[in-house]
Chain A
Amino acid sequence: MALIRAILSRLAGTAVTLIGVAVIVFVVIRVVPGNPIAMMLPPGATEDDIARLTARYGFDKSIPEQFVIWAQGVFQGDFGTSITARQPVLDLVLGRLPATLELSLLALAIAVTAGGTMAVLGTLWRGTPAEGAVDVAAGMSLSVPDFLWGLVLILLFGVIWPVFQISGRVSPALDLPFTTNFYLIESVLRLRFDITRDLLAHMILPSLALAIPLAAIIAQLLKQSLKEVMHLDYATLARTKGYSETHVILREALPNAILPTLTLVGVQFTFLIGGTVIIERLFSYEGLGNMAIDAVINRDLPLIQGIVILFAVLFTAVNLMVDLTYAALNPRLRHG
């Protein structure tokens, strides 16, 4: 019951957050410099032409009026029409969302696997030079930003040793018999592993670039937590029972040490999604982030609003899931 109350409370808070984001974004992108009408003025435009264009896109009304019109549309599922693509914003952003989600989730999986492995190895080898090597690797991974990792990966695996694709999401020549834009998931479900392989060859470098800094954070935090619990009584008891050090770490220490890491991963995952904006651009990956940059350059206000709100929904949803997972795993919260 307490959990349900907590969920309802969080959902209400999420709604308020999204409304706040919508208002702020709507106002901010209209007051910052860069008028979309000025960008599309024809060479010989007269005052009448400018007024007509302004009215055509609804920019002749006050910002509150524009917001009310936009909000009414949103409640009916209409997020407006992109100025540059001349397509419904909702179709555009939902069409690109699966690409970004798949990339982010793959990056998360790599980060958790790599970071977790580094933490376990660092704990296993604690007090030895190998632990120092793990710490140095984590420190280096963390101190280099994701876009720089992207450039390094392009150079290494795209140019010097060209084993992976460095742009796009899938080879243009492939015929995709899919009904959704979750290409990776659907290719697996349809057993089209040729497409899965092609998708992974495109996704591996951008997801690695996103994953490396997060893996380092996970490694550092989880190793610290593991080292702390390895001194506790139940770990000592397990050792005295004759269990191996690996068993003690994985079976006894890890379940207790993982909670703080889980919270951090949730928070960091939202940053990882934010990082897709630059990484998708760098790898010409057809996701929301790449689209967001074009929208900002072209001052495509309806599209910017749609993308930002979708990102906000993603962030709040991830945070909500983290909280619920934390509550489910933490007995003190689970029982109120």
Chain B
Amino acid sequence: MRLNRRAMLQLSAAGAALGVASLPARAQAIEELVIAYNVTLPSWDPTVGPSAVNPTIQGIYQSVFDQFILQQPDLTPAPGLLTDWGWNEDRTQVWMDVRTGVSWHDGSDFTPADVVWSLERAGAEETGNPIQFIWSTIGNFTVDGNRITADVLRFEPTIFKWMYFLTGYVLPKDYYERVGADGFESAPVGTGPYMVDGFERNAFVRLRANANYWNGVPEFETVTIRFVPDAASRVAEIESGNSHVTLEMPYEEYDRLRSGSLTGTATPVSDIGMIFLNDIDVMLDPNVRMAAALAIDKQTIIDRLLSGYGVAIDTLETPDYIAFDPGVTVPYDPDRAMELLAESGYSPDNPVRFTIQTTRGFKPKDYEMIQAIVGLWRRVGIEAEIEVYEIAKHYELRAADDLAPAAFYNWGNSVADPSTGTGFAMFGPTPHSVWDGQDLVDMIAPLWAEADEEARIQGWKDVDRYVADNALVIPLLQYVQPVLSAPGVNVVPHRSGALLPHLMTRA
């Protein structure tokens, strides 16, 4: 074959035709909402396996399944499939009122039996629910009309909070028993605002609005969630008009794109960055710990590295958590840090040395933040060596209590309760805790079963103050989630970080 000018022109025309035929509908009115999501969905059952406790995919689950209790965008609970709930007076029983007039995506009626079955299944060891230790605290269910009553087998003050947290989903009893786990995986059925219309693993999920949704029919009839894990590709998706909404892009890109035709929302979410301190080596010296905490200028780090997108925090409670105490502060005070280090015999010429571990690229600017912190530490007499590891290694080391003296990590707590933040992060016997001091264990232990809510919250505030006063962990910042949307769509941000298509409306 001879390649002449005519042949080249023909090839070019064919290529252009091929491309134009698949042009994204950038400027057209949005009929089918397309979202470029930052993670993939490995499994459809929101109550078992590792996916069930992955906070980043809860938004997809909540599009298809309802939780026992609805969580509003400000993290507060509201009537959902359960319209009311509570304990009896002596806290030996719980009761739950079940909503009527709700149907499953397959058309069958939602009943109290579905709620009981979901709770019993979640509490059974053989199911493999990662939060089984919470669900198993109630049992012996009885149903009277639309009211379910259960015995409290072990008092758990946060049981109702877990009903809008990880694995707190209601699944269809009859359907699940009929099709089994594999059948449910290939054709999931919920009561949620959207029904699954198509699913390609690692590629996309296509959702169709549930016309019978009890909480109002979603505005967008069809929603496609594309799984685009690469941040640069997500930016290209929204910039090209292939997707209408995306999230979690570098803040510089967010600023650049929102100054154009795209709309941006940047909301603080229930995810914090922190430095775990391990009770080993030099970290046993309170002066070293406190100096390390005082020497970090959090606000400057947020301003310089995160373009101002972050909220500096001094405890593991963010301002929108119920145990937040604005009176507990750890100011940036490098002079005091140097004094404390001097008391222990350290100075910039004779620095205290330890290793700090961090991920690189797992969270926005994680490595760069630690680099900046190490630089700040160096000025006061702390010489920290950075060790980069993968997040999987972090989990392994943390579970084995083998982390370095300092280790950067992030912690999500969308239920906003101190037990699931400060509690699990700082209570020595749990596998997620790093500081194992007995004094702290003794402070926290009674709070797990404290029945007086006011006393419980005050107890956790006291724990937070003790942790800050003794620098047992170094909280850094509350993350801000950037979301970009095309003209024609309004996004309602959710403080949990879940991007929920049923909250999106036409602009």
Q: Do A and B come from one complex?
A: yes
Residues of B within 8 A of A283 (CB): 233
CB proximity of A149 to chain B, nearest CB, Å: 13
Q: Find out whether the CB atom of A168 lies under 8 angstroms from the CB atom of B2.
A: no
Q: Find out whether the CB atom of A40 lies under 8 angstroms from the CB atom of B21.
A: no
Does B212 count as interface, using CB distance less than 8 angstroms? no
Q: Can you name the residue of chain A whose Cβ is closest to the Cβ of B243?
A: A167
Q: Find out whether the CB atom of A86 lies under 8 angstroms from the CB atom of B185.
A: yes
Residues of B within 8 A of A40 (CB): 49-50, 53, 130
Which of B16, B181, B198, B227 interacts with A163 by CB under 8 Å?
Answer: B16
Q: Find out whether the CB atom of A52 lies under 8 angstroms from the CB atom of B392.
A: no
Q: Find out whether the CB atom of B42 lies under 8 angstroms from the CB atom of A34.
A: no
Does B99 count as interface, using CB distance less than 8 angstroms? no
Residues of B within 8 A of A45 (CB): 133, 430-431
Residues of B within 8 A of A35 (CB): 392, 395-396, 399
**Which of under 10, 10 to 19, 20 to 34, or 35 or more describes the interface residues of B?**
35 or more
**B contact face: mostly helix, strand, loop, or mixed:** mixed
Q: Find out whether the CB atom of A44 lies under 8 angstroms from the CB atom of B134.
A: yes
Residues of A within 8 A of B43 (CB): 84-87
**Total A residues in contact with B, Cβ cutoff 8 Å:** 67
CB proximity of A153 to chain B, nearest CB, Å: 10
- Give the contact stretch, choosing among A136-144, A198-206, A222-230: A198-206
Residues of B within 8 A of A168 (CB): 203-204, 226
Which of A157, A167, A294 interacts with B233 by CB under 8 Å?
Answer: A167
Residues of A within 8 A of B458 (CB): none
Q: Find out whether the CB atom of B18 lies under 8 angstroms from the CB atom of A197.
A: yes
Q: How far is the CA of A223 from the CA of B456 in the complex (A)?
A: 78
Residues of B within 8 A of A87 (CB): 43, 182, 185
Residues of B within 8 A of A202 (CB): 22
- Give the contact stretch, choosing among B141-149, B234-242, B311-319: B234-242
B120-168 with Cβ < 8 A to chain A: 125, 128, 130-134
Which of B22, B32, B202 interacts with A290 by CB under 8 Å?
Answer: B202
Which of B3, B36, B133, B233 interacts with A44 by CB under 8 Å?
Answer: B133
Does B330 count as interface, using CB distance less than 8 angstroms? no
Does B365 count as interface, using CB distance less than 8 angstroms? no
Residues of A within 8 A of B432 (CB): 41, 43
Q: How far is the CA of A206 from the CA of B201 in the complex (A)?
A: 19
B181-231 with Cβ < 8 A to chain A: 181-182, 185, 198, 200-204, 206, 222, 224, 226-230
Residues of B within 8 A of A85 (CB): 42-43, 201
Query: When A33-B396, A84-B50, A286-B202 are in contact, do A44 and B430 touch as well, CB less than 8 Å?
Result: yes
Residues of B within 8 A of A172 (CB): 198, 200, 203-204, 206, 224, 226
Q: Find out whether the CB atom of B395 lies under 8 angstroms from the CB atom of A43.
A: no
Residues of A within 8 A of B50 (CB): 36, 39-40, 83-84, 298
Query: When A86-B43, A284-B229 are in contact, do A43 and B430 touch as well, CB less than 8 Å?
Result: yes
Per-residue CB contact flags for chain B residues 391-433 toward chain A (1 = under 8 Å, else 0) read 1110111111000000000000000000010001000011110
Q: Interface residues, chain B, CB within 8 Å of chain A?
A: 2-3, 16, 18-24, 26, 32, 36, 40, 42-43, 45, 48-51, 53, 125, 128, 130-134, 181-182, 185, 198, 200-204, 206, 222, 224, 226-230, 232-233, 236-237, 239-242, 389-393, 395-400, 420, 424, 429-432
With A33-B392, A33-B393 known, 12 other A-B pairs at CB within 8 A are A33-B390, A37-B399, A42-B130, A44-B424, A49-B133, A83-B50, A165-B242, A169-B200, A172-B204, A290-B202, A291-B201, A298-B42
Q: Interface residues, chain A, CB within 8 Å of chain B?
A: 33-46, 49-50, 52, 56, 82-87, 92, 95-96, 117, 121, 151, 154-155, 157-159, 162-169, 171-173, 197-198, 200-202, 204, 246, 281-287, 290-291, 293-294, 297-299
Give 26 pairs: A residue, B residue, CB < 8 Å, sorted on A: A33-B392, A34-B392, A34-B395, A39-B50, A39-B395, A39-B396, A41-B431, A41-B432, A42-B131, A43-B420, A44-B424, A56-B128, A82-B42, A85-B201, A86-B43, A87-B182, A96-B202, A154-B236, A158-B236, A159-B239, A197-B21, A204-B19, A283-B233, A284-B226, A294-B40, A298-B42
